[in-house]
């Protein structure tokens, strides 16, 4: 006969415990669960992602209604247990139900601690623990704009980020001088604060709130120093309190939480407590990983599997805020018994600290790049002897794959996905039994990576380790690069929808595997950000290829070409003299007229390139860039007896109008003065053939390894129309092209007729041209500023002399 197992609480820890019980013995219990929220079990730690707009409420359910039904679990939701009667082995609910049990699990969790100060009961003062809290904040943000979050810990910062994403002006009030003082040392906390301030978050540090004031609804808060600020919403994130009233009234032993032993038994052996409401060896836990470990220990015991029980947890923390990549675990601060391995790169915003005691890792703090977090934390938990490791690479064995080595050494019981409590053994078993081959399949089957996604790299490593030679890494690559499954269009859409401001923020929010990016996505994201936000986004030179950083094409011997702009192939005697003098001074081995009718200096040493550009004093010809390279033109009607229009003059106009602005790939244009097409305009990205009655325009040609003749587009009457259409065309290519995609395959992908339809729509074409001009202004401004700074520097040097 089945025993009656009743659980009070329908949260993460309790339901995970039920899942583990069902795995061990599906026939042992008749299960009833009572939850006071009107929802099935959901992932509470993903509420910050919902608030930040990264996901929706419907996507954070962990166990849908059918799961309870399929597992023959009786579920009562939106119902509260009001009394436990141990002597009768019975519970009572607020809806009049009396339910008897053989074993009872209390999984009542915790509640947000609300500071008991004057005004805390006003409308607009809430905690951040439930779906209802999250929905309230989302709705409030639609009506009001000023918010205060009290508490600079993990939850407070995630709430603040979400409210900013919802359009609110947010202050974080913190009692202490450092943020997340329980998880970060002073250096990492300072870096975090700086990054969050750059995102628009404002801080009031070392401030104690003494009063919340308002007439019915919150209007502001006052501090102990007498200062105050106005606000429409106050979010309390100052800690949690275990929900223990039921246990206390039932006569169970309590302290801060419900006191339990290693098998999660309370002072009454048939009553258990698990999760945030329990206290084990004097410790209550608020993070999900230890709560899952408790659930596993309880499941083993209640199904009569002999184990050592639960022995406590070492905690680790990650922050779910875009653009702030951090990990901490174990001991945070040095003491007399520890030694610290510290790596800090202030320029890149990276900080890594590993605390060591007796040749073992006892603490980890990572900021800016947490990719080593899982590996180092695994070493910490295992007590790995680090004698064989080199600290220069933050404890890696020279010549070995650190992640592969870590995965090989992981035990089956080790947790890979902390959000959902998925172990390595569960993943390996699923891969083998379900014949899984990709990360997406593993995620769907096991839930590993289904929440924050930060464990993706380890999950894929387990796939590779388990499948060996049969693992096909290419099968994962469905997105813009190996770091993500998001396509180019999806990435751009997410940037627009979520208001993402930097490539790092994009990678964090969208869960890229490599949070620092790869050689494919780093330059691509830099391009997309500058294309989408020309006036706000500052170009990241470090994400550009070496050619663009050096402003010259690298040659086979490691030297560079320096090719200045010569509009239409024209130059002056003064420029030619300067080119000759520079070539002679720097022993340039080759001076050549290029195929684009410019003078190129080839073989310039890398260290000489900046000085060569400075002494030439000429604008770059962008012969190395993903932008307009040149406009090839014939002399046209100025000299040629066949010329119908001034092809040279129009070519120069086009070049000046379109130059400098980044595009998905290089662009070349051509203007021929007559249908004889001496400028080869019909194999250019944008071609113009001059005729008696105007200018024939052509799109999407390519004269490279795969020749593509242009598509005929339209005939226009004036040079101004040619330039306007070239701007609209280039901007549409900028907005819809995939980074590194030439116009020829772009036209094939988008469709020539679709592109023509857009460009022939006067309103759309005008808007595209205006957007191009807006972007062009930012490039011109940057160039002018650089020139101005150089002139100031030159003047300073003259004054010094």
- Binding-site residues for siroheme, in ranges, read 678
Please provide residue 671's backbone torsions phi and psi, each rounded to the nearest 5 degrees: -130, 115
Burial of 306 from C-beta contacts in 10 A (0-12 / 13-18 / 19+): exposed
Q: Do residues 213 and 79 lie in contact, with contact meaning Cβ atoms separated by under 8 Å?
A: no
Write the DSSP string, 694-745. Answer: EEEEEE--B-SSS-BPPEEEEEESSHHHHHHHHHHHHHHHHHHPPTT--HHH
CA-to-CA distance for 609 and 61, rounded, in angstroms? 57
Write out the two tokens for 260: 């339990």
Residue 566: name the closest of 648, 466, 461 by CA.
648
CB neighbour list of residue 31: distance below 8 Å, 6 or more residues apart: 5, 6, 7, 18, 21, 71, 72, 73, 74
Element (H, E) at 799: helix 762-800
Write out the two tokens for 213: 């004031």
Pick out the residues of the known binding site: 634, 640, 674, 678
Compute the Cα dihedral for 378, 383, 388, 389 and give only its sign.
positive
Strands (E), 594-648: 599-604, 628-633
Element (H, E) at 142: helix 131-143
CB neighbour list of residue 786: distance below 8 Å, 6 or more residues apart: none
Please compute Rg for the chain using Cα positions: 32
Count the Cβ atoms, other than its own, within 10 Å of residue 297: 24
CA-to-CA distance for 584 and 658, rounded, in angstroms? 33
Q: Starting at the earlier edge strand, list the strands of the sheet with 694-699.
A: 628-633, 667-672, 686-691, 694-699, 711-716
Residue 44: name the closest of 225, 292, 211 by CA.
292
DSSP secondary structure code for residue 64 in this structure: -
Pick out the residues of the known binding site for [4Fe-4S] cluster: 634, 640, 674, 678
Write out the two tokens for 740: 């590194």
CA-to-CA distance for 672 and 690, rounded, in angstroms? 6
Question: What are the CB-based long-range contacts (under 8 Å, 24+) for 65-74?
Answer: 65/40, 67/40, 68/33, 68/40, 71/22, 71/26, 71/31, 72/30, 72/31, 73/18, 73/31, 73/32, 73/33, 74/31, 74/32, 74/33
Please provide residue 41's backbone torsions phi and psi, each rounded to the nearest 5 degrees: -60, 130
CA-to-CA distance for 772 and 729, rounded, in angstroms? 10
CB neighbour list of residue 126: distance below 8 Å, 6 or more residues apart: 112, 133, 136, 137, 233, 234, 235, 236
Residue 204: name the closest of 244, 184, 234, 166 by CA.
234
Q: Do residues 172 and 257 lie in contact, with contact meaning Cβ atoms separated by under 8 Å?
A: no
- Give residue for tokens 């129309």: 721
Count the Cβ atoms, other than its own, within 10 Å of residue 184: 27
CB neighbour list of residue 531: distance below 8 Å, 6 or more residues apart: 662, 734, 735, 775
Distances (CA, A) of 497 to 55, 56, 147, 165, 166: 12, 13, 22, 10, 11
Q: Do residues 623 and 553 lie in contact, with contact meaning Cβ atoms separated by under 8 Å?
A: yes
Residue 671: name the closest of 706, 695, 694, 693 by CA.
695
């Amino acid at each position: 006969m089945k025993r009656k197992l009743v659980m009070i609480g329908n949260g993460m820890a309790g339901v995970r415990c039920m899942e583990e019980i069902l795995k061990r013995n599906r026939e042992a219990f008749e299960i009833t669960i009572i939850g006071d929220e009107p929802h099935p079990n959901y992932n509470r730690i993903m509420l910050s992602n919902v608030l930040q707009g990264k996901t929706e409420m419907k996507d954070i359910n962990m166990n849908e209604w059918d799961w309870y039904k399929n597992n023959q679990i009786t579920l009562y939701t939106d119902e509260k247990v009001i009394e436990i009667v141990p002597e009768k082995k019975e519970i009572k609910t607020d809806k009049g139900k009396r339910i008897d049990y053989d074993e009872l699990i209390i999984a009542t969790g915790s509640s947000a601690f609300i500071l008991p100060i004057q005004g805390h009961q006003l409308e607009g003062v809430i905690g951040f623990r439930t779906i209802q809290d999250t929905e309230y904040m989302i709705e409030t943000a639609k009506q009001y704009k000023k918010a205060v979050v009290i508490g600079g810990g993990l939850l407070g910062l995630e709430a603040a980020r979400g409210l900013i994403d919802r359009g609110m002006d947010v202050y974080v009030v913190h009692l202490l001088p450092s943020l997340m003082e329980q998880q970060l040392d002073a250096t990492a906390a300072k870096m975090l604060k700086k990054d969050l301030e750059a995102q628009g978050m404002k801080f009031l540090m070392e401030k104690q709130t003494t009063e919340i004031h308002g007439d019915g609804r919150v209007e502001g808060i006052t501090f102990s120093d007498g200062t105050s600020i106005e606000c429409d919403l106050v979010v309390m994130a100052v800690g949690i309190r275990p929900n223990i009233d039921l246990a206390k009234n039932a006569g169970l032993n309590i302290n801060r939480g419900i006191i339990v032993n290693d098998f999660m038994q309370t002072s009454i052996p048939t009553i258990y407590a698990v999760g945030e409401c329990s206290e084990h060896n004097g410790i209550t836990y608020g993070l999900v990983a230890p709560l899952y470990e408790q659930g596993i220990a309880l499941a083993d015991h209640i199904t009569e599997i002999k184990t050592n029980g639960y022995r406590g947890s070492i905690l680790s923390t990650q922050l779910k805020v875009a653009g702030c990549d951090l990990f901490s675990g174990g001991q945070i601060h040095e003491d007399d018994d520890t030694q610290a391995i510290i790596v800090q790169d202030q320029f890149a915003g990276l900080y890594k600290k590993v605390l060591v005691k007796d040749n073992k890792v006892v603490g980890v703090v990572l900021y800016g790049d947490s990719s080593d977090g899982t590996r180092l934390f695994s070493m910490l938990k295992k007590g790995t002897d680090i004698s064989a490791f080199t600290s220069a690479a933050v404890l890696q064995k020279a010549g070995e794959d650190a992640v592969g080595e870590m995965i090989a050494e992981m035990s089956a019981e080790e947790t890979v996905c902390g959000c959902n409590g998925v172990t390595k053994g569960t993943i390996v078993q699923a891969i083998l039994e379900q014949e899984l081959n990709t990360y997406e399949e593993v995620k769907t089957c096991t839930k590993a990576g289904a929440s924050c996604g930060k464990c993706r790299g380890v999950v894929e490593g387990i796939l590779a380790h388990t499948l060996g030679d049969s693992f096909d890494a290419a099968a994962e690559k469905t997105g813009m690069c190996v770091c993500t499954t998001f396509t180019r269009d999806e990435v751009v859409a997410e940037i627009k929808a979520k208001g993402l401001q930097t490539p790092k923020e994009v990678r964090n929010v969208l869960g890229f595997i490599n949070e620092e990016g790869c050689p494919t996505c780093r330059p691509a994201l830099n391009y997309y950000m500058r294309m989408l936000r020309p006036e706000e986004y500052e170009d990241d030179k470090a994400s550009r290829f070496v050619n663009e950083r050096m402003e010259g094409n690298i040659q086979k011997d490691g030297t560079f070409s320096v090719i200045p702009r010569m509009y239409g192939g024209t130059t002056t005697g003064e420029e030619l003299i300067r080119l000759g003098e520079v070539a002679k001074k720097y022993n340039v081995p080759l001076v050549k007229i290029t195929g684009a009718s410019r003078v190129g200096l080839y073989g310039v040493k890398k260290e000489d390139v900046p000085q060569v550009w400075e002494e030439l004093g000429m604008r770059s010809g962008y012969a190395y860039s993903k932008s307009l390279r040149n406009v090839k033109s014939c002399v046209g009607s100025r000299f040629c007896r066949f010329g119908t229009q001034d092809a040279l003059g129009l070519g120069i106009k086009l070049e000046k109008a379109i130059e400098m602005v980044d595009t998905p790939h290089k662009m070349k244009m051509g203007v021929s003065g007559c249908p004889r097409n001496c400028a080869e305009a019909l194999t250019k990205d944008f071609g113009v053939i001059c005729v008696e009655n105007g200018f024939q325009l052509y799109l999407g040609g390519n004269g490279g390894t795969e020749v593509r003749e242009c598509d005929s587009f339209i005939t226009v009457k004036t040079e101004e129309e040619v330039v306007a259409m070239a701007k609209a065309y280039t901007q549409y290519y900028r907005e819809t092209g995939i980074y590194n995609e030439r116009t020829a395959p772009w036209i094939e992908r988008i469709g020539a007729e679709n592109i023509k339809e857009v460009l022939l729509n006067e309103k759309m074409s005008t808007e595209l041209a205006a957007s191009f001009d807006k972007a062009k202004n930012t490039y011109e401004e940057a160039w002018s500023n650089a020139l101005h700074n150089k002139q100031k520097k030159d003047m300073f040097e003259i004054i010094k002399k």
